[in-house]
Structure 1
Amino acid sequence: MKALPPVIPRAQARRDVDQALEHYLREQAVPAALGFIDALEQAYAQIARHPATGSPRYAHELDLPGLRSWPLKRYPYLVFYVARSDHIDVWRVLHERRDMPAWLHPDAPSASDSDPQG
């Protein structure tokens, strides 16, 4: 059986997750924060098993070949990633109400590590 590729979040994706957890903890919603982590782990497992199942919508909109998104179950967040030959490159974990093109575009502020080709 072939080993699953590792899922490797970029620094910005880790910051996105930290911000989401801080939000839930600020609201004193510890069960929601724990559920968010579980949902994120499930999403990472899914994209490791089946990288092509994510939506390519934003890849087309932004002309970023290979970029896909996968929703978290029961949480309003999307995992944005690119499947590489040896790993899954998690680019961002964004709330679905964000202006995705603005947050995902390589020229966006604080997106210095966000080149999906990279």
Structure 2
Amino acid sequence: MKGRPVIPRAVARQDIESAVEHYLNEDAEKAALGLIDELEKVFGLLARHPESGSSRYAHELDLPGLRSWPLKRYPYLIFYVVRADHIDVWRVLHAMQDIPAWMTEGD
């Protein structure tokens, strides 16, 4: 079962590019590639099981339908909303950031 397509918004793609660039600037090419691999795995999981993510931030930010999923090996959270025909990835943020402030940027 493939599931719904996972479609990152432009700002989510920028988040991912920034995270990869950070690892590359630290001469951690293996970590950069590992981050991309883990994101692909999680996107596949979310495509098949979109309701798996936590709704914690939906309540905190008053954004109904917002879900989040943490990466296991990297300190990032994927923020997304389940749509009828796809998974709408809003942001991919470092877990130590001010999540409420970052979620409102780039709208």
Q: Taking structure 1 as the reference length, what is the TM-score of the superposition?
A: 0.87
For 1:1-118, what aligned pairs fall within 5 Å after superposition?
3-105=2-104, 108=105, 111-112=106-107
User: Superposition RMSD on alpha carbons, in Å?
Assistant: 1.0
CA distance in 2, matches of 1:65, 1:85: 15
- Structure 2 unmatched runs, 5+: none
Question: SS at 1:48's partner residue?
Answer: helix
Runs of 4+ in 1 over 6 A off after TM superposition: none
Higher normalized helix content (fraction of residues): 2
What runs of 5+ residues in structure 1 fail to find an aligned partner? 113-118
Tell me the TM-score normalised to structure 2 length: 0.96
- What is the CA deviation profile of residues 26-83 of structure 1, one whole-angstrom value per residue up to 9, with x for unaligned ones? 0010100010001100110111111111010110001100000001120000000000
